[in-house]
Amino acid sequence: MKKWRKLNGQKIELSIKEAVEKTIIREQTLGHKLKVCIGTDSQVRGGVAEFATVIVFLREKKGGFMFIHNSKEQRKLGIRERMIIEVGKSVEIAYKLCDLLDKYDVELEVHADINTDPSFQSNTALKEAMGYILSMGFVFKAKPNAFASSSCADKVV
């Protein structure tokens, strides 16, 4: 399993939970109000599905930055299954971090790269993905408001 990294390629050596906690403490010490958005996107290349999961740290009115994790699935996946795997990867990380984010009063959103417009293929997974995320108690965002998955993760997959 590949490690987490920063956008500049720098590897994150700590566990993701420790790295996020250290980051929150640093940012809050600097006076920034944070929000964390987690999203995953995927691309299929030569029959291999490549996934990128991102943890986006937004500083209120001060930009943001992200941590990135890439992974691959070596099997053929239908669009619906791939969308659900994306959501699963995001929820897994959100679940790992939610106690920490609560502790430091950091807002969390889980973003799904799923279109709310029924004319798009990804829409077939919308109800399942939304139900899954909401049932876990997380705030859910889909396209066009799911920038963590549709813009950030999309750039690094």
Q: What is the tens place of the pLDDT at every residue in 89-130? A: 999 999 999 999 999 999 999 999 998 999 988 898 899 999
Ranges of each domain in the chain = 5-156
pLDDT for residue 2? 59
Region 33-47 average pLDDT: 95
The tokens describing 141, both together, are 């965002």
What span, in angstroms and rounded, lies between the C-alpha atoms of 141 and 37? Answer: 9
What CATH class is the domain 5-156? alpha beta
Beta strand 5-6 with 34-45 is unpaired
Rounded CA separation 91/111 (Å): 9
Mean pLDDT rounded to a whole number for the chain:
94
Is the pLDDT confidence value at 85 over 50?
yes
pLDDT tens readout for residues 9-39: 999 999 999 999 999 999 999 999 999 999 9
